[in-house]
Chain A
Amino acid sequence: DAGVIQSPRHEVTEMGQEVTLRCKPISGHDYLFWYRQTMMRGLELLIYFNNNVPIDDSGMPEDRFSAKMPNASFSTLKIQPSEPRDSAVYFCASTPGVLRGYGYTFGSGTRLTVV
């Protein structure tokens, strides 16, 4: 199993540009989570999906952020337009089900820098 795969690993973009982060969860994991990590705020849950359906997006900071999961093996997190305060490490995680006692498996993250 290749684990949770995120791309790109690093992204540097100019303010105002659109940024798309990608995630491939582990096959068979029904839940997918997007987190943001910064020194100031720690780990923040942005949104999570169950069977490709968004369940809770209350952590999405504002309308500039959007996430999709068109199928069980792919999800995107898009920021449009990007701002310097969006600079952070974005993690994707998947799990077969928290209620069944499974933990999350995290990807290696995407380090986003907006200049």
Chain B
Amino acid sequence: AQSVTQLGSHVSVSEGALVLLRCNYSSSVPPYLFWYVQYPNQGLQLLLKYTSAATLVKGINGFEAEFKKSETSFHLTKPSAHMSDAAEYFCAVSENTGNQFYFGTGTSLTVIP
């Protein structure tokens, strides 16, 4: 079965600094990859997704992620952090033969003013 690893359960950045949240998956077959964001007391919202098109994917709120097959990675970045980016971020992967996602354990992002 697929597995997803998010390095760093907690990440703190200063406002205006680069945000980098790491995600690695286990499958050797390029799957579909997703990043979700969860604000306090809310459900998960789709930030962006990779579906075998461009390897650099742009999402909402200025986030983007790059799919690197050789590294089995799909790291999430944002050039300049805003206070409103403070949330929990989940990486998820699906397989070409399955109907469910495999979620990472999440990374809590804190933005320091």
Contacts and interface: CB of A to CB of B under 8 A. Distances in A.
A55 B99 contact: yes
9 contacts: A4-B43, A31-B99, A45-B100, A98-B99, A98-B100, A99-B94, A103-B34, A103-B36, A108-B42
Nearest to A104: B101
Interface residues of B, number: 24
B96 interface: yes
Contacts of B99: 31, 48, 50, 55, 97-99
The residue among A4, A33, A97, A104 with the most chain B CB atoms within 10 A of its own CB is A104
Interface in A23-63: 31, 33, 42-43, 45, 48, 50, 55-56
Given A99-B98, A101-B32, 20 more contacts: A42-B103, A42-B105, A42-B106, A43-B90, A50-B99, A97-B99, A98-B32, A98-B98, A99-B94, A99-B97, A101-B51, A101-B52, A103-B46, A103-B49, A104-B46, A104-B101, A105-B46, A106-B36, A106-B44, A107-B43
